[in-house]
Amino acid sequence: MLLGVTGGIAAYKACELVRLLVKAGHAVRVVMTRAAAEFVGPLTFATLTGHPVALDAFGPEGWRMEHLELARWADAMVVAPATADVLAKLASGAADDLLSTTHLAFDRELLVAPAMNATMWSHPAVVENRRRLEARGVGFVGPREGETACGETGIGPMAEPAEIAARVAATLARTHDLAGRQVLVTAGPRFLSNPSTGQMGIELAREAARRGARVCLVHGPLSGGPPPSDIPAAAVINAQQMYDAVMERVASADVFIGAAAVSDFRPVAPSASKIKKEGRRTWTLELERAPDILEAVGRQRRPHQVVVGFALETRDLIRSARKKLQEKRADLIVANGAGEGERPFGDRESHVFLVGARGEPSELPLQSKRLVAQAVFDRVKGLLDG
């Protein structure tokens, strides 16, 4: 566990956080900013952790490229307290000290516990930095409501160390809860009717890999960014190719998630060359049903295999999702609306409902696609265990 401590009065509470993490059995190393050392001495953290504190990127140990060593050593990273300044650095990708440089080299679970004056926490710049970090999947713990060091009351004080330690435990528990499982995910756009970027499918694949699963991503053309280089992928360009790729792999999968927006219809007579107008004033495009991948997977599913589908609806969202759940023989439908005010495509955040066979639908507030992926796999894990 790597703990970043920054320059706020709440830095003294990081000592208790270290004690709780060490007591829970974690190996802890601390990286501090120069401002943090004005509040708590490095010797305190070195004594609590049994490791020297990382403080200066240009100190005597600078030749070791300590930011890389620390980033590769840790399974998770927590910044507590996280000041407004460090949130801005993390959001912008600044790298002007050891902590911010280590952050750029770190590619696993990151939690931040903000601490600042309530007015600062509500400032538009801080709000935007939080949104940017959440969109990248950074977890936030707090801040809580209470009295700050300046004597004012509001939302701003750092979460209590016990709450942060509990969140760390829950985060680490997820990192291996799909070990030994095989997950198949589809991602990509539906060209005739919506501009899906494929980013949701990418985040689902990443989340499954973070949890220890063996993952395969079958994707069409992606506009939300390239597929993860460390996840096996099969690239396709049309619905039939995606169907074939899924059917070839799904028998060995413990979990299938159909996040791709596959076209319901395809041209009857596709042309490999430009179709000339040749004086025609009108032209009729004849379409036929494309293969229904989710239906085929549900029809051929193995016992104990978990099947998850996505539903985009312009009206009667929950009723339509429940109907799809039953017709496709799925275990879970992730439903999102395309009505007025909804932003289902191209946005970094999603507002969805998780519709299962039992119980009421779970509404997820507007949040990053990575957090949606976490919530989906929390449900998937419950289905696998049940």
Query: What one-character DSSP code corresponds to residue 360?
Result: P
Using the structure block, give the residue that is written with the tokens 């829970």.
24
User: For residue 36, what are the domain limits?
Assistant: 2-174
Which residue in 182, 306, 311, 321 sits closest to 252, CA to CA?
182
Instruction: Return the H-helix or E-strand segment holding 378.
Output: helix 369-385
Q: Using CA atoms, how far apart are residues 9 and 114, in angstroms rounded to an integer?
A: 12
15 noted as active-site residue: no
In a shared domain, residues 222 and 338? yes
What pLDDT, on the 0 to 100 scale, is given for residue 124? 95
List 65, 150, 173, 179, catalytic entry: 150
Mean pLDDT across the stretch 112-140? 90
Q: What percent of the chain has pLDDT over 70?
A: 92
What CATH number has the domain bearing residue 348? 3.40.50.10300
Q: Using CA atoms, how far apart are residues 255 and 376, in angstroms rounded to an integer?
A: 12
Per the structure, the count of domains in the chain is 2
| Confidence grade of residue 219 (pLDDT, cut at 50, 70, 90) | very high
N- to C-terminal Cα separation, the chain:
31
The last residue of a domain, from among 117, 140, 174 = 174
| Confidence grade of residue 100 (pLDDT, cut at 50, 70, 90) | very high
What CATH number has the domain bearing residue 65? 3.40.50.1950
Residue 167 placed within a domain: yes
Mean pLDDT across the stretch 87-95? 93
Residue 194 predicted with pLDDT over 60: no
What pLDDT, on the 0 to 100 scale, is given for residue 3? 96
In a shared domain, residues 203 and 169? no
Q: Using CA atoms, how far apart are residues 301 and 297, in angstroms rounded to an integer?
A: 6
